Amino acid sequence: MNSEPIFLEPVFKDYIWGGQKLKNIFGKKVQNEECTAESWEVSTNENGETLVKNGEFKGQTLTQVFANQDLRKAIFGTKCVDLAEFPLLIKFIDANKSLSVQVHPDNEYAMKHENSLGKTEMWYILDCEPGAQIICGVKKGVTKEKLKECINSEKIAECLNYVNVEKGDAIYIPSGTIHALLGKTLVAEVQQNSNVTYRVYDWGRVGKDGKPRELHVQKALDVICTDRTPQIRKIENNCSKVNVAKSEFFTTNKLHVQDQFAEEISEESFIALNVIEGKGTLKVANQNYEIKKGDSFLVPANAKKYELLGNMELLQSYV
């Protein structure tokens, strides 16, 4: 096979807390123009599989491409050869309204109870209104017993840690961390390939069927770690490459391209790139590809090198 990049067609989710920013800011061709919550940009998850838009795999799902064992090492890298499934799920999220207060399990608990990977994730704040907040962790000194008491008496707000955020903030959220986006916030999310979420509190809302959305309080209490402290970094914009998050599951960097950026690729992993500002040209194996804000694509591990030309900002993720 050649080493051409794999451009992906996103999958949209119209959850009740979404808005119109994915259409208005990223130019996404959404199905629900009034309320689109998430754009799954890079996904093999059974709840939303992205399609390949170009090249020899055009029309296939990324899941189908990953399933090709003969090509997996060349495209996805040596670290992915023995994996049961593609390791990452990357999204753009329009939290127009508050998400539920929630938590995700680790691999061990998720595999035992959900037959799924766990979920460690990272948020990068693409845009937000002044004074925007998130929930990340619990207040200092809150025990699991106290948290359970507050949940049962619907006084959970007394236990939660509210954090102010701004554009350019990166929040690392290991599994077991209670958290929520609290509205008027546009986010890029890089996470393990999992859709397992345990809702603790949902602000008394009802779903599209008019009924309260399901909560998962006992499972949430099983996995919540009350000693988690927020890991928030302000990402500078004056470096060509700066680390945003690093874990055993993924590494994410921010690229700030002014005219030109070039980098070699390790044979260990593919590179996932999401254009979050600007436009320009991607050059791989002497072929040029025009890219713009909102585009998401993979550069195969066997490409050895890629080049970005123009003025733009991107998130770069790999295993």
Q: Which of residues 214, 234, 254 is at a domain's end? A: 234
**Residues linked to residue 103 through DSSP beta bridges, in sequence order:** 198
pLDDT score of 167: 96
- Integer Cα distance of 205 and 121 in angstroms: 25
Q: Can you tell me the distance from the alpha carbon of 103 to that of 113, in angstroms, rounded to the nearest whole number?
A: 15
Report how far residue 116's alpha carbon sits from residue 149's, in angstroms, rounded to the nearest whole number.
29
- Which entry of 72, 199, 213, 233 is annotated as an active-site residue? 199
First to last CA, the chain: 22
Predicted confidence band at 208 (pLDDT cuts at 50, 70, 90)?
confident
Give the structural domain span for 269: 241-318
Q: Is residue 179 part of a domain?
A: yes
Q: Which residue among 234, 266, 282 closes a domain?
A: 234
Using left for φ > 0, alpha for ψ between -120 and 50, and beta otherwise, residue 243 falls in: beta
Longest dimension (CA), the chain: 63
Mean pLDDT of the region 162-171: 96
Asked if 199 and 307 sit in the same domain, the reply is: no
Nearest to 18 by CA among 94, 74, 112, 81: 94
Average pLDDT for residues 107-122, to the nearest whole number? Answer: 97
Summarised one tens digit per residue, pLDDT across range 18-29 is 999 999 999 999
* Chain mean pLDDT for the chain: 95
Distance CA 148, CA 143 (A): 9
Res. 292 pLDDT band, cuts 50 70 90: very high
Domain boundary among 200, 216, 234: 234
199 is catalytic: yes
Calpha distance 138→226 (Å, rounded): 6
- Mean pLDDT in residue range 112-133: 97
Residue range 200-217: mean pLDDT, rounded: 89
Residue 155 sits in the same domain as residue 297: no
Give the whole-angstrom CA distance, residue 14 versus residue 21. Answer: 12
Q: What is the CATH number of the domain that holds 271?
A: 2.60.120.10
Give me the number of domains the chain comprises: 2
Cα 241 to Cα 308: distance, rounded to the nearest angstrom: 12
